[in-house]
């Protein structure tokens, strides 16, 4: 059964692409891979294939000079062979560096260890007084215009005389904004004040995706949108916590997408609001502390690992490559709950934040990784299927180096491992 477990983990981690790109992978049983949706690219033929366990020990010593590439600046690097568990390439693997959005690997890993993939967030609306509908915000930042219409229709049916809409945001007590994120990043579309109800992640002007300006009042926007659908003008934030026990009449409820769907979108687009929301799904009062507590039950947390948010926007975060790689290795090797993270990783030259990278490199389609980017900071954490049939997990963090140059060096290194 040990070989079977290796096969399953490897299958989850692997996608092959001929030409330019491929869609995501869905694993439906232990012996087959499916592509969904079907690829749409001209001359691009995704190939799903069974994998054989490689023999012998891997030898990547000839790639060691690439670890000293000056384009990587100050770097922390680790590559591990999934079959043997041995570290095969490394440079300063225990050096904690600024990880940028690769911090999201910790957030998603903790979520997978605590929550179920089918979990949904339920937003309820209860009656207050004779004519007030109170939205009990519960953490759904994935609300859509359809969600708003659905809520309004249910409220109208169950409280025809509604005159006011309020929203109760007491579910989250953690700070809604960390000043180190920078208020300018709200306008630039990278973050929003973290309130437990948002329409399309608080994007403004009808936008449904992308780094576009976000709202400073996302929960109030939800209340306002429901009020407009109902044809009422009065809407506000509720004062304190509105009781929603057995005595409160429920007027409406809606559910978010599943956790699986939410983390897939989070990882594909590296959305900071989604990552912070998942952290608050773990704990509405101390998301970072709960993330580390959960991980600490399964892994040895390095003493010098420090994170201050769940998205990676904080420039005070510090994570060594060794720890990030340990999460990838556990997912690929033997942790059935963590294995779901592998299918969320963007595909080189195919999906998400890696769609435009690796287009001419041998790693295209065979590297899957979470990216990270801040000023003079780059990161790449994921898996590689080599030409020899081996699967490697890896983490690369680069600090104090121009982003495009560091990315090129990372992608070339990962592609060299693919060619091994």
Encode pLDDT of 274-316 as tens digits.
999 999 999 999 999 999 999 999 999 999 999 999 999 999 9
Nearest 5°: phi and psi at 326?
-65, -35
For residues 58 and 84, membership in a common domain is answered with yes
CA–CA–CA angle 85, 88, 92 (5° rounding): 110
Q: Cα–chain-centroid distance for residue 101?
A: 9
pLDDT for residue 263 is more than 60: yes
For residues 190 and 80, membership in a common domain is answered with no
What sign does the CA torsion over 271, 220, 314, 330 have? negative
From 241, 256, 271, the end of a domain falls on 256
For residues 235 and 326, membership in a common domain is answered with no
Domain assignment of residue 8, yes or no: no
What sign does the CA torsion over 325, 304, 336, 26 have? negative
- Residue 52's pLDDT is what? 57
- Residue 11's pLDDT is what? 37
For residues 151 and 127, membership in a common domain is answered with yes
Number of domains in the chain: 2
For residues 65 and 138, membership in a common domain is answered with no
Domain assignment of residue 319, yes or no: yes
- Residue 58's pLDDT is what? 80
- Residue 65's pLDDT is what? 97
CB atoms within 10 A of CB 200: 22
For residues 212 and 315, membership in a common domain is answered with no
Q: What share of the chain in percent tops pLDDT 70? A: 85
pTM (whole model) above 0.85:
yes
- pLDDT 10s digits, 321-354: 999 999 999 999 877 899 999 999 999 999 999 9
pLDDT for residue 50 is more than 70: no
Q: What share of the chain in percent tops pLDDT 90? A: 82
From 256, 273, 296, the end of a domain falls on 256
- Residues designated catalytic: 101, 104, 270
Q: Cis (ω within 30 of 0) for the bond into 37? A: yes
From 239, 256, 273, the end of a domain falls on 256
- Residue 240's pLDDT is what? 72
Domain assignment of residue 271, yes or no: no
For residues 305 and 400, membership in a common domain is answered with yes
For residues 392 and 316, membership in a common domain is answered with yes
Query: What separation in angstroms does the CA of 70 have from each of 8, 182, 230, 405, 408?
Result: 37, 30, 60, 9, 11
Domain assignment of residue 272, yes or no: no
- pLDDT 10s digits, 230-250: 999 999 999 877 766 557 899
Domain assignment of residue 392, yes or no: yes
- pLDDT 10s digits, 59-87: 899 999 999 999 999 999 999 999 999 99
Q: What CATH number does the domain containing 75 carry?
A: 3.40.710.10
Give the C-alpha separation, 165 to 135, whole Å: 7
For residues 390 and 408, membership in a common domain is answered with yes
For residues 86 and 106, membership in a common domain is answered with yes
Domain assignment of residue 361, yes or no: yes
For residues 98 and 130, membership in a common domain is answered with no
State the pLDDT confidence band at 18, using cuts at 50, 70 and 90.
very low
Mean confidence (pLDDT) of the chain:
88
What are 25's two structure tokens? 């992978």
Helix (H), strand (E), coil (C) string for 196-237: CEEEHHHECCCCCCCCCCECCCHHHHHHHHHHHHHCCCEEEE
State the pLDDT confidence band at 13, using cuts at 50, 70 and 90.
very low
- Residue 245's pLDDT is what? 58
Domain that holds residue 359: 52-116+283-418
Q: Which of 373, 346, 357, 332 is nearest to 411 (CA)?
A: 357
Domain assignment of residue 9, yes or no: no
Domain assignment of residue 287, yes or no: yes
For residues 90 and 163, membership in a common domain is answered with no
């Amino acid at each position: 059964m040990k070989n079977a477990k290796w096969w399953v983990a490897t299958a989850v981690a692997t996608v092959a692409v001929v030409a330019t790109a491929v869609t995501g992978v869905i694993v439906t049983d232990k012996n087959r891979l499916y592509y969904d949706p079907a690829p749409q690219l001209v001359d691009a033929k995704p190939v799903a294939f069974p994998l054989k366990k490689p023999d012998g020990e891997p030898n990547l010593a000839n790639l060691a000079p690439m670890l000293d590439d000056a384009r990587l600046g100050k770097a922390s690097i680790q590559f591990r062979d999934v079959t043997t568990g041995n570290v095969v390439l490394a440079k300063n693997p225990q050096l904690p560096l600024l990880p940028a959005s690769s911090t999201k690997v910790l957030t998603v890993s903790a979520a997978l260890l605590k929550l179920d993939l089918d979990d949904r967030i339920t937003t309820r609306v209860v009656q207050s007084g004779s004519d007030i509908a109170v939205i009990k915000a519960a953490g759904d930042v994935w609300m859509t215009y359809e969600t708003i219409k659905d809520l309004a229709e249910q409220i109208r049916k169950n409280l025809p005389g509604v005159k006011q809409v309020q929203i109760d945001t007491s579910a989250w007590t953690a700070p809604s904004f960390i000043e180190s994120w920078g208020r300018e990043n709200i306008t630039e579309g990278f973050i929003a004040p973290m309130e437990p109800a948002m329409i399309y992640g608080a994007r403004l002007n009808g936008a449904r995706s992308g780094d576009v300006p976000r709202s400073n009042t996302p929960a109030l926007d939800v209340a306002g949108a429901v009020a407009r659908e109902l044809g009422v003008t009065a809407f506000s934030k509720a004062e304190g916590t509105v009781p929603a026990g057995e005595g409160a009449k429920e007027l409406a409820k809606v559910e978010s997408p599943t956790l699986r769907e939410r983390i897939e979108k989070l990882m594909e687009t590296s959305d900071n609001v989604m990552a912070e929301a998942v952290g608050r799904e773990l704990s509405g009062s101390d998301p970072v502390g709960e993330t580390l507590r959960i991980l600490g039950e399964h892994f040895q947390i390095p003493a010098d690992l420090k994170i201050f948010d769940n998205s990676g926007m904080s420039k005070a975060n510090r994570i060594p490559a060794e720890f990030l790689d340990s999460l990838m290795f556990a997912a690929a090797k033997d942790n059935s709950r963590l294995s779901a993270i592998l299918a969320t990783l963007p595909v080189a030259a195919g999906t998400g934040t890696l769609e435009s990278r690796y287009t001419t490199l041998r790693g295209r389609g065979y590297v899957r990784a979470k990216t990270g980017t801040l000023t003079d900071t780059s990161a790449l954490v994921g898996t590689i299927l080599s030409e020899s049939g081996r699967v490697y997990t890896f983490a690369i963090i680069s600090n104090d180096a121009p982003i495009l140059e560091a990315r090129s060096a990372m992608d070339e290194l990962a592609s060299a491992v693919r060619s091994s």
